[in-house]
Amino acid sequence: GIQVEQSPPDLILQEGANSTLRCNFSDSVNNLQWFHQNPWGQLINLFYIPSGTKQNGRLSATTVATERYSLLYISSSQTTDSGVYFCAVNRKGAQKLVFGQGTRLTINP
Amino acid sequence: NAGVTQTPKFQVLKTGQSMTLQCAQDMNHEYMSWYRQDPGMGLRLIHYSVGAGITDQGEVPNGYNVSRSTTEDFPLRLLSAAPSQTSVYFCASSWTGGYADTQYFGPGTRLTVL
């Protein structure tokens, strides 16, 4: 099946810093989503981005489908950005989202 | 809209007991799915449904049953609980089979099997 690798596994930053999270995938996809799991366990959809670039406030994401990777940028980090960020993809022809292992982000005040 | 709701929030079972985790959505989504999340890991797909009356297996289906009699509801049944099924269970829904749109997740059910 398709492999999804996220890096780094852990990231600790001070408030106000910028960060880049990466998601590599091993096959062609027709869906890629970024999720934030907050410390209470709730999964929040950040971006649906099978290709191209999107921005939402301090967050932006870019997917280069031909090179099989996606990047999530967080600027001016806040403590509320802490949690685990997951990338999930759907291989072309399938109907199953496959998740990466996640990047645990800790923002210290 | 309530979105995706799950009950119960917490459950403790003894080995061999059975139970049903409930999932409902009010967005008229055709696609619904169940995932489990183990500590330090991403989510793994258990079962999914592309519409009422249609279900299929995901990555880790053993020990779980599902049915989809209505568009709104997608219950997950544990037939004979085992300690290996201790996990957090998430239900999700979307318009299509997850291949063309956003997945919406419920709040999760934390299950402990003793």
pLDDT digits (tens, 9 = 90+) for B18-30: 999 999 999 999 9
Q: Determine the Cα–Cα distance for residues B11 and B96; give it in Å rounded to an integer.
A: 31
Position B98 pLDDT exceeds 70: no
Mean pLDDT of B73-83: 97
Q: Show the CA angle centred on residue B109, arms to residues B93 and A23, nearest 5°.
A: 60
Instruction: Write out the DSSP string of B43-101.
Output: EEEEEEEEETTEEEE-SS-TTEEE--SSSSB--EEESS--GGG-EEEEEEEESSSSSSS
Confidence grade of residue A97 (pLDDT, cut at 50, 70, 90)? confident
Q: Three-state SS for B28? A: coil
Map tokens 């996606």 to a residue: A70
Minimal Cα–Cα distance from B109 to chain A, Å?
A: 10
Cβ of residue B88 closer than 8 Å to a chain A Cβ: yes
Percentage of chain A lying above the pLDDT 90 cut = 84
Phi, psi dihedrals of residue A80, rounded to the nearest 5° = -70, -10
pLDDT for the residue B99: 59
Asked if residue B103 lies in contact with residue B50, where contact means CB atoms within 8 angstroms, the answer is: no
B-chain residues near A94 (CB < 8 A)? 99
pLDDT for the residue A65: 93
B-chain residues near A88 (CB < 8 A)? 42-43, 103
Mean pLDDT of B3-16: 96
A-chain residues near B94 (CB < 8 A)? none
| Cβ–Cβ below 8 Å for B58 and A96 | yes
Q: Determine the Cα–Cα distance for residues B52 and B68; give it in Å rounded to an integer.
A: 5
| Cβ–Cβ below 8 Å for A42 and B108 | yes
pLDDT for the residue B96: 74
Percentage of chain B lying above the pLDDT 70 cut = 96
Asked if residue A101 lies in contact with residue A8, where contact means CB atoms within 8 angstroms, the answer is: no
Asked if residue A103 lies in contact with residue A39, where contact means CB atoms within 8 angstroms, the answer is: no
Mean pLDDT of B34-61: 92
Q: Determine the Cα–Cα distance for residues A89 and A100; give it in Å rounded to an integer.
A: 8
pLDDT for the residue B49: 93
Q: Determine the Cα–Cα distance for residues A73 and A1; give it in Å rounded to an integer.
A: 27
Pairing of strands A10-14, A103-108: parallel
